[in-house]
Amino acid sequence: MNRLMHIPQLRGYGFVIDPMTEADFEPLYAAASDPVIWAGHPARTRHKRDVFGPYFEFLLEKEGAVTIRDIGGRVVGCSKYYEPPEVPGGIAIGYSFLTVDHWGGASNRAVKALMLDFAFQDWDQVWFHIDPSNIRSQKATAKLGARHVDSQSLDLGNGPTMWMRLVLLKDVWNNMG
């Protein structure tokens, strides 16, 4: 995971992804303050400042969190690389959100393409953990070529919870073209 301490700026497909800093709180909160973003998500009240604050602090407590901006510089979401607890030495991508104006098009794929291309420089598989009730994330991750492996109770930082585990193999990603 040492490579995650040195995430470079990732740029392409109309987006710029930078390592998250404390200075990103206000623009990220502004992006996250739309309740529609969280309506189908397990954290339905994350649009509230008192709920978003601990989420932001959690993202920053270890390396790997990134802030996503559109090419004009507006913050449109965030994500995080992290080590899956059940795959020591592996890599996962999660804790992601995008503003509603980036739903339903090519944005999720574009952002994940930048992140996956970086991850696949050092790993042959990338893991995703998705809450079983989060249908939007399940569909978006499946469109990337990830396959559902199983569901497990895992502690990803907030106590043991049931998570769907999906994996995307480097060869599958490379053949998705």
What local confidence, expressed as pLDDT, does residue 149 receive?
Answer: 96
Give the separation between CA 145 and CA 165, rounded to whole angstroms.
13
Segments of the chain assigned E as strands: 10-12, 15-19, 65-70, 75-82, 92-98, 125-130, 147-155, 160-169
Q: Is 14 left (phi over 0), alpha (psi -120 to 50) or beta?
A: left
Q: Is the pLDDT of residue 1 over 70?
A: no
Please report, as a single letter, which amino acid is at residue 78.
Answer: C
Q: Is the pLDDT of residue 176 over 70?
A: yes
Q: How confident is the model at residue 65 (pLDDT cuts 50, 70, 90)?
A: very high
Of 71, 62, 90, 76, the closest CA to residue 168 belongs to 90
What local confidence, expressed as pLDDT, does residue 6 receive?
Answer: 82
What local confidence, expressed as pLDDT, does residue 156 receive?
Answer: 85
Give the separation between CA 35 and CA 57, rounded to whole angstroms.
20
pLDDT digits over 21-62, tens only?
999 999 999 999 999 999 877 788 999 999 999 999 999 988
pLDDT digits over 91-131, tens only?
999 999 999 999 878 999 999 999 999 999 999 999 999 99
Q: Is the pLDDT of residue 139 over 60?
A: yes
Copy the structure tokens of residue 54.
Answer: 């601990």
Query: For residue 72, how many other CB atoms are within 10 A of its CB?
Result: 8
What local confidence, expressed as pLDDT, does residue 54 receive?
Answer: 94
pLDDT digits over 5-20, tens only?
689 999 999 999 999 9
Q: How confident is the model at residue 177 (pLDDT cuts 50, 70, 90)?
A: low
What local confidence, expressed as pLDDT, does residue 3 receive?
Answer: 62
